[in-house]
Every structure is written in structure tokens, then in C-alpha cells.
Chains A and B, each alone.
Chain A
Amino acid sequence: MNKSEERELIQQAKKDPEAFGAIFDAYYDQIFGYVLKRVGDVHLSQDITADTFFKALDRLWQFRWRNISILSWLYRIATNETNQYFRGDKKRLYSLDRLLEENNIEFLGEVDIMEEIINQEKEMERAEDWIKVRKLLKNLPEKYQEVVALRYFEDKKISEISEILGKKEGTIKSLLSRAMDKMQL
């Protein structure tokens, strides 16, 4: 999806939430992956990501196009949601279970979903480096966690992190440098 298509899609989604489905399809995996790499729990990451997308849909009317992909905005919401979880706010507003229950939606069979979760958990166990870094990262303050996760888990450029977090590039560089000093591999 190029920027002009994305812009058009957002305008459409502001009027018709169904159009938001295309944004969800395009970016769900990336946002889920980011949350998962920070949180390290599939179930929890699914809930935080669900929260992220529900809030994005709910607040889409506030989104103003500044020639920056909506993905940056989704990353920012996901970062805030994840930080909130780490601060001790464990209450998830929009888990899939809750959404299904509140809206009387019933899907048959849970086997496929369970299988997906198990596969993902196995994959995580194999990523030893990441497990080590994540452990170190957990002991750092929030401001370092978010820049390190975006830079080294998501491979984002400094300029992209700057867009996502709404901080100056110099600040991002400085935060990364200090985070490196604090972490020993």
C-alpha cells in the first residue's frame, strides 16, 4: 500500500469503519510482532494488540495525515499500551474473548487458534539472543525499553523511531547510547 492509497483508505475509514479492515489486515502482524517481542507472552500480546487496534479505530477521527504512515501511529499506540501493561495496568479492555462476549459473536472451534499460539511459543523459545536481551531490557526504565525494542527488535531507523515516539532524532540517539551502556550482553 503506497502513501496516497493509505491516505485515501484512512479518509474512507473515518466515514466507514469497515474500511479500517484493510488497515488492520496490512499492519496487524507488525504490531502484534512488536508487542510480542516486548512482552514475551502470546496471549497477552494478542490482547494488547487487540486493544491497540480498537483504540486506533475508536480514535481514527483524531488521526491527521502528515505524510507519515498510519503504521507509526499504530506503533505509538501499541508502545503506550505496552508501557501501561509494564506499569502494572493489567486490565485489558478489548481482548478477543471480551469483544466476542459483549457482542454475542460465536466462532466454532478453538483448535486452530490454540495451534497458532503453540507454534508461536515454540518459535520464541528458539530465539535465545532475544530472550537474553529482553531480560536485560526489562530492568531498564520505560524510555530506554521503547527505543531499544523499536531499534533492535523491529529494525526501525532513528528517523522512524523519532516519528513513532514523537521525540527528536538526537534524543533517540542519546537514549539508545545510554541504553547500550546500561546493558551488557
Chain B
Amino acid sequence: MNHKESQFLKIKKPEIRPIESYKKRLRTALLLAHGNRSKVQMFYHIIINSIQNMSIIQKRTVFGVAVLAGLVITAGIFGPSAASVAHAEAQELVGRAFARISNLSETERAELEQKFGERVQFQGNGQGPFMGMNDLAPEEIEKMHATIKASLVDALAEAQAAPDLKIISADEMPTPGFVGKAGRAVGLKMRQNQTPEEKLANLPADVRERIEEHSAFREEMQPVSFLVYTNSNGQVVYLGVNAENEPVAKFIKSENGSVPIAPGQMMKYKVQNRNAQ
């Protein structure tokens, strides 16, 4: 200890006189004022105090639960909605389909284009059966082909542009509207191998061969999922995509009968419908 320090240690300091009256009042006021404070704050303090007294494992558990709850709440508020997730998934499928058809050779693509065109079906009105290109008069086919986007690229581009685009699996596909000729043509929901093995073995070889070819074709063109959207005419479109991400079928369902069929063809459709009844 140096001289200067000892000098400082020796300084005469003021004594603290008893201030009991003031102290007593302050004590009462302090405790009363604190007691009047928000119960919520007290509750908060008790919670924090309890956390402080927890073991590290308990704290980690509490922290983990709090983080999880925070994430759930944040995801609920800021996260994508189910609709937007479905839309994004559907857009991803459209992207894969575009990539798939662009990777096909010219021949493969032309072949697929033809098969797809044959499997584009549209509905005259909400109750009527579906029609295909083969049901149209030759002079109407080209016009109709463009109108209903019956080519691979046009069909995918239309799906891509639809704001309500989503995916459903083949099992979720509504069946009532897809019965009849069109339904049978695409083999949708058609029961496979209805003929028992024995019966098939007894059939003539050429028939068996045709059946086997048809089975292979049906398998290749079997949609595993459908891109569902509303087109610019307000019609609900189901664009079937197979396991290889190739568009293989398209159904245009008109809820209000406004399917874009040329007047002449509408007459043909009506006659067919009447004859069927």
C-alpha cells in the first residue's frame, strides 16, 4: 500500500444517521407498489424463474418445444398454403413433362403426339358423353384441334398457364363423366384381365396377339396422375400423365355446355346422343 492510498483510506467519511421514519415509509410504499403491478408480469417472472431452476435437459426440452411451436405458428402464418403447394407440385410435373417430350426423338414424339391426339376427349355438356376427334367431321378436326389444345406442347402450355392447376392421382379421378366410348378408349378405370387365363389361352393366336398388344398399349398410355385445371373457356380439364411424365390423355369437361364445338358438329353430337337414348 503506498502513501497516497493510505491517505485515501484514512479520509473521514460522513456517518449515516438513522433514517428510520423515511425507511419505514419507503419499505411500505415499495412493497405495496410492487404488489399492485401487473399479475401478468408476475406470472412471466415465475415462468422465467422456473426455467432458470430447470436442469439443462429440461431447459433444452422446453426450448425445443418453444422453437417447434414457434415454427408451427410461423409456418401457419407465413408458410405456403396447401393450394399453393399443390400448384407448385403440379407446375413441377408440367416441367418434367416438357422435359420428357423435348428429349424424345422425332419419331417417338410424332408417335406420342398421334396417340395423345386420339385420346383427347371433350364433353358436349354436363350430362353428355365425351367425344373424340374421330367423332368430328374431317373439316372440323383441324380447327377443333387448335381450339382444345390437342397437341402435346399446347396442352402442357395451357396447363402451365392455369392459375388453379393442381395434381390428382388416377385413383382420385372422378369416374361418372368418363363412361362410354371415350372411357373405354383410354382404358380408364377399365378392369384388366377380365378374361380368365384359361379362356385367354384357348383364344386363337391372332386374337391373343391383339389382346397382348392392346394390354401393352394400355399400360404405356395409362395415366398415373392428372393435371387438373380450368381452361380459358371455363371448362375443367384433366390432362393425364403416365409414369414416364408423358401426356397421354386429355378430357375437357364442360359444366355448362359451352364446349367449343362447331355448330355442325353439335348437331351430329345431338343426333348421336338421341340415337343412343
B residues whose Cβ falls under 8 Å from a Cβ of A: 2, 4-5, 7-23, 25-37, 45-46, 48-49, 52
Known: A133-B8, A152-B11. A96 touches B17 (CB 8 A): no
Could you tell me if B30 and A61 are in contact, using CB atoms closer than 8 angstroms?
no
Could you tell me if A113 and B22 are in contact, using CB atoms closer than 8 angstroms?
yes
Could you tell me if B11 and A54 are in contact, using CB atoms closer than 8 angstroms?
no
* From A36, A94, A180, contact of B16 by CB (8 A): A36
| B30 contact set on A, CB distance < 8 A | 24, 50, 53-54, 57, 94, 99
Could you tell me if A127 and B13 are in contact, using CB atoms closer than 8 angstroms?
yes
A61 to B30, CA, bound (A): 16
Could you tell me if A96 and B21 are in contact, using CB atoms closer than 8 angstroms?
no
| A117 contact set on B, CB distance < 8 A | 19, 22
Residue of B nearest to A128 (CB): B12
| A106-147, CB < 8 A from B | 107, 112-113, 116-117, 119-120, 123-124, 126-130, 133
| B26 contact set on A, CB distance < 8 A | 28, 46, 50, 53, 96, 99
Known: A116-B18, A124-B14. A28 touches B23 (CB 8 A): yes
* From B15, B21, B36, contact of A113 by CB (8 A): B21
Could you tell me if B11 and A61 are in contact, using CB atoms closer than 8 angstroms?
no
What is the count of residue pairs linking A and B with beta-carbon distances less than 8 angstroms?
Answer: 123
Residue of B nearest to A154 (CB): B13
Interface centre among B22, B23, B25, B49 (most CB of A within 10 A): B22
The majority secondary structure among interface residues of chain B is: helix
Min CB gap B79→A, angstroms: 35
| B36 contact set on A, CB distance < 8 A | 103
Could you tell me if B4 and A14 are in contact, using CB atoms closer than 8 angstroms?
no
Could you tell me if A116 and B9 are in contact, using CB atoms closer than 8 angstroms?
no
Task: Check if A5 is an interface residue, CB within 8 A of chain B.
Answer: no
| A141-163, CB < 8 A from B | 148, 151-153, 155
| A151 contact set on B, CB distance < 8 A | 8
A119 to B34, CA, bound (A): 30
Could you tell me if A129 and B31 are in contact, using CB atoms closer than 8 angstroms?
no
Q: Chain A 1-27 against B: per-residue CB contact (8 Å), 1 yes, 0 no?
A: 000000000000011011011001100
Task: Check if A100 is an interface residue, CB within 8 A of chain B.
Answer: yes
Could you tell me if B29 and A36 are in contact, using CB atoms closer than 8 angstroms?
no
Known: A94-B33, A105-B29. A37 touches B11 (CB 8 A): no
* Interchain residue pairs with CB less than 8 A apart (25): A14-B49, A15-B46, A17-B31, A20-B31, A28-B23, A28-B26, A29-B19, A36-B14, A37-B14, A46-B26, A50-B30, A54-B33, A61-B52, A94-B30, A96-B25, A99-B32, A103-B29, A112-B21, A113-B21, A116-B18, A116-B19, A117-B22, A123-B17, A180-B4, A185-B4
Could you tell me if A37 and B13 are in contact, using CB atoms closer than 8 angstroms?
yes
| A100 contact set on B, CB distance < 8 A | 25, 29
Min CB gap A58→B, angstroms: 7
Known: A15-B46, A17-B34, A120-B17. A180 touches B5 (CB 8 A): yes
Min CB gap A49→B, angstroms: 8
| A46 contact set on B, CB distance < 8 A | 19, 22, 26
| A28-65, CB < 8 A from B | 28-29, 32-33, 36-37, 46, 50, 53-54, 57-58, 60-62, 64
The 9 lowest CB-CB distance pairs between A and B, nearest first, are: A61-B45, A129-B11, A99-B29, A112-B21, A127-B14, A33-B16, A124-B14, A152-B8, A116-B19
Known: A17-B31, A37-B14. A116 touches B8 (CB 8 A): no
